[in-house]
Amino acid sequence: MLHTSYTAIRKYKKGDPRNLCKISKTPSEQTGILEDFKEYILKQLILGVERRQIHKEITEMGSSAKKTCFNKFCRKLIDEFNNRSFSKSRYMLYISLY
């Protein structure tokens, strides 16, 4: 027994196998698309800009990341930032130099 409904079987019978068998990426795998915007996102988070505003701005810049993926990426960035050995004020100085 395959534990498959007849609608799923019909979908696979009529559909293009190349499109149906694509591996969909989970939000944790999609965070790589935000690596190009990492510094910008981190700067904005440190300055206190809301996540929703940052997401809107990077979407206008050309990012295709969804909100779930973006929020997961922000949490990862914040955790990395909190685990660093230098303080927030030193990092603000670092950002202002570049």
Which of 45, 32, 33 is closest to 81 using CA atoms? 45
pTM across the whole model:
0.58
Report the distance separating Cα 45 and Cα 38, nearest Å: 11
Cα 52 to the chain's mean position, in Å? 13
Q: 22-48, pLDDT tens digit by residue? A: 555 555 555 678 888 988 998 898 888
Residue 83: the pLDDT is 73
Q: 63-72, pLDDT tens digit by residue? A: 888 898 899 8
Which sequence spans correspond to the domains of the chain? 25-97
Report the distance separating Cα 26 and Cα 45, nearest Å: 24
Report the distance separating Cα 91 and Cα 97, nearest Å: 10
Residue 46: the pLDDT is 83
Q: How does DSSP classify residue 21? A: T
